[in-house]
């Protein structure tokens, strides 16, 4: 399934993905959770992922703080603040991360988490890259759970995403065609 979804996503031309990201941002920008969020955790898109630059630029223009993942030596993921002009480096997976000594933000301090995915279904289950980083990060929360939205192309939707008991459902998915709220 991952192979099929990677191929489906890669078949979308970069210019179409960029336009889709701008349309998706307009949908997200109408949400109360976006308007009220002060600390937003998202990711630096790479490859054929739906670009996150519109999210980052919009958040900064509204005075919001943006946090992106950084993977530690032992495989733990934490979110560190991304600021304009920060130096980035590629981690062992080839994903850009800020070069910083920041210890990261606890899940309870995040108002909105925008998660990457390869695929999603109408129930809100997401298929990631298979490392379980987001599920483990959210499981560490002590108090409230941040609102978790998927960020994807509509073409990434499938009928059913296989899931395990520890998999966390998304609260919603934002695509270029609008917002999808999970059913059942």
pLDDT in tens, 20-58: 999 999 999 999 999 999 999 999 999 999 999 999 999
Rounded mean pLDDT, 122-137: 82
pLDDT, mean of residues 152-159: 96
Range from 24-38, 62-76, 125-139 carrying the lowest mean pLDDT:
125-139
When pLDDT is averaged across residues 67-73 and rounded to a whole number, the result is: 88
Distance set, CA 37 to CA 78, 85, 91 (Å): 19, 23, 28
Band of pLDDT at residue 75, cut at 50, 70 and 90: confident
How large a percentage of the chain has pLDDT more than 90? 69
Q: Single out the residue of 128, 114, 119, 93 nearest to residue 171, CA to CA.
A: 114
Digit-coded pLDDT (tens) for 158-182: 999 998 887 778 999 999 999 999 9
Distance CA 87, CA 82 (A): 10
Q: How confident is the model at residue 92 (pLDDT cuts 50, 70, 90)?
A: confident
Does residue 139 or residue 28 have the better pLDDT? 28
Average pLDDT over residues 4-32: 95
The CATH number for 27's domain is: 3.40.50.10420
Distances (CA, A) of 59 to 29, 67, 70, 146: 10, 11, 19, 17
pLDDT value at residue 78: 87
The mean pLDDT of 89-94, rounded to a whole number, is: 87
Number of domains forming the structure of the chain: 1
The residue range of the domain holding 95 is 2-180
Helices (H), 117-160: 133-139
Choice among 94-103, 107-116, 117-126, 142-151 with the minimum mean pLDDT: 142-151
């Amino acid at each position: 399934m991952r192979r099929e979804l990677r191929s489906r996503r890669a078949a979308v031309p970069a210019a179409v993905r960029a336009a889709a990201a701008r349309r998706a941002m307009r949908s997200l920008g109408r949400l109360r959770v976006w308007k009220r969020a002060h600390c937003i955790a998202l990711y630096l898109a790479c490859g054929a992922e739906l670009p996150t630059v519109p999210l980052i630029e919009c958040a900064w223009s509204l005075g919001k703080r943006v946090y992106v993942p950084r993977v530690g030596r032992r495989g733990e993921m934490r979110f560190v603040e991304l600021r304009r002009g920060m130096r980035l480096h590629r981690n062992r997976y080839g994903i850009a991360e800020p070069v910083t000594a920041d210890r990261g933000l606890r899940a309870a301090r995040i108002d909105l988490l925008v998660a990457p995915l390869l695929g999603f279904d109408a129930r809100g289950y997401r298929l990631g890259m298979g490392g379980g980083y987001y599920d483990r990060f959210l499981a560490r929360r002590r108090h409230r759970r941040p609102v978790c939205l998927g960020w994807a192309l509509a073409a990434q939707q499938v009928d059913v995403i296989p899931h395990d008991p520890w998999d966390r459902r998304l609260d919603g998915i934002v695509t270029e065609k609008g917002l999808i709220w999970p059913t059942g």
